[in-house]
Amino acid sequence: SAPLCTASRISLLTGRYFQRAYLAGRGIHESETTMAELFRDAGYRTGVFGKWHIGGPPWDPQGQGFDEFVGHRVGAIDNYSHFTYWAAVPQHALLRGREPYREDGTFFPDIVTRESIDFLTRHRDTPFFLFVSYNQPHYPMQPEERFLRQYDHAQGARRIYGAAVTSLDDKIGQIVAALDEQGLRDNTIIVLMSDNGHSEEPQGIGGSAGPFRGAKKSLFEGGIRVPCVVSWPGRIPRGQVRQQIGSAMDWLPTLADYCGLDTSDLALDGRSLTDVIGGDAPSPHTALHWTLATQWAARQDAWKMISRGDTMFLANLHDDPGESRNLANDRPDIISRLRARHEAWVATGIKPIYTVESP
């Protein structure tokens, strides 16, 4: 839903375009209902462990419906000292709830994994909503030596990035194994996804968007198209792929549908994907929209347009998923149609928030 982490997380938790739900520089608008609030009000225990990055009190996890939190509210921390060095003054950033928490020298993803497993074990006899927000492979990438050794064939940033992803895979596997051990796996929905495309920031390189153009902070597909895996044994088809377009903001209504929760009183931009996942139905979206400062993008069916000031870019993603050819001059009719879509969307109250960096 956005090529940046805070914006994408806001859409995920609210089911809304982040431009509607975000109080710039603060957090999620108080008028919004988060996924945690929805599930907590339905009797679920709620926990988030890892990276928050959607504001401090009253916009912190406790202010947004989470009963438990261990992690950091900033964009990045060192995985062993738990200090953030990406601020004007370096400071210790690890928290338990709203209180400082010290566990110096413990690998932060191990803390996230341990706390997540403890949460699901303590609440195995009650419904729970668990948001696990790992900070790897976000910088600083500090994978364990045992995983680095698996990538001795690679060099430089790719070796470190590969090891960080494998470390992440190991931690996710531990949580899934804990669900099995507690007899919860068949009654638990797991959604695995990223918030935005890989980083090209100097301290975070090593990732790849494969055939797609762009990266984090870009409205090309490499910045906004991310992998997503959903699992629910016996209820969701296994080993199948869906190509229909969806968005992070679709997960609130989708999970609410699966769990039988009423969202009729919520103003949502997201749409339930249950028919897409279960029956390969068409996408519930007629169009999707993105903004990044003065840039914007709109997609309808296979056509996607990016506006960068006076420059228009148009691609047919079915024919050219890598966005290598600009068809703006060839199809002015599509440009006009998508511009009208964008203007109608903006007229509903959309305002640009973030600054932009050229891809």
In tens, the pLDDT along 270-315 reads: 999 999 999 999 999 999 999 998 899 999 999 999 999 899 999 9
Is the residue at 356 inside a domain? Answer: no
The rounded distance, in Å, linking the Cα atoms of 163 and 234 is: 32
**Residue 105 and residue 18 share a domain:** yes
Q: What is the pLDDT of residue 354?
A: 58
Average pLDDT per consecutive 10 residues, the chain (359 residues; last block may be shorter): 94 96 90 97 98 96 98 97 92 98 98 98 98 96 97 96 98 98 98 96 93 97 96 95 96 98 97 97 97 94 95 98 98 98 94 54
Provide CB contacts within 8 A for 43, sequence distance 6+: 126, 127
Considering its fold, how many domains does the chain have in total? 2
Q: What is the pLDDT of residue 293?
A: 86
Is the residue at 267 inside a domain? Answer: yes
The rounded distance, in Å, linking the Cα atoms of 284 and 216 is: 26
Q: 298: domain range?
A: 288-346
Cα-Cα-Cα-Cα torsion 7, 344, 219, 255, nearest 10 degrees, comes to 50
**Residue 320 and residue 179 share a domain:** no
Q: What is the pLDDT of residue 50?
A: 98
**Residue 151 and residue 175 share a domain:** yes
Single-letter amino acid, residue 65: G
**Residue 134 and residue 35 share a domain:** yes
The residue from 279, 307, 335 where one domain ends is 279
